[in-house]
Amino acid sequence: MTLLEQYSSDVLKRYRDILTFQDEKYRRNPIHYAAMANGTNSLKTIEAMLDIDIDRVPGFDSFFSLFRDLQGFEMPEETFDPRRSASVLAEFKQLMRPAEFNSICSEFRQKVKMLLKEVLN
């Protein structure tokens, strides 16, 4: 198993854990509760949770903005830039054969479809 395959497997596992978690009393998952809620943010939350891709993390821009604001309160001379890790997939794409990279990405998207079908049923 390559590092990219391990990464894609880990991403799917995290989403599976989040989306299939059920409460003990009613056995409902987060999608069910979000669908029952009346607020506008509930719909946005569902859309963000179901928009899964290997190279995109929903809400990263707002996270990064808040991260930079909060980082200034601690030690301004010591900074960490989370955007550096965002280029990891671009590095994989350059280092791997295109057929292998595309195959892993395609398999990831197929598994995402199966996961969403399982969660929504």
Separation CA 5–CA 103 (nearest Å): 10
The count of other CB atoms within 10 Å of the CB of residue 116 is 16
For the record, the structure tokens of 14 come out as: 């995290």
Whether the per-residue pLDDT at 13 is higher than 70: the answer is yes
Give φ, ψ of 113 to 5 degrees.
-60, -45
Report residue 100's pLDDT band, with 50, 70 and 90 as the boundaries.
very high
- Per DSSP, 70 falls in state H
Report residue 110's pLDDT band, with 50, 70 and 90 as the boundaries.
very high
Mean pLDDT of the chain, nearest integer = 75
Separation CA 112–CA 54 (nearest Å): 10
**Sign of the Cα pseudo-torsion (21, 26, 27, 29, in order):** negative
Asked if 81 contacts 63 with a C-beta cutoff of 8 angstroms, the reply is: no
- What ranges do the domains of the chain cover? 3-120
Tell me which of 40 and 54 has the higher pLDDT. Answer: 54
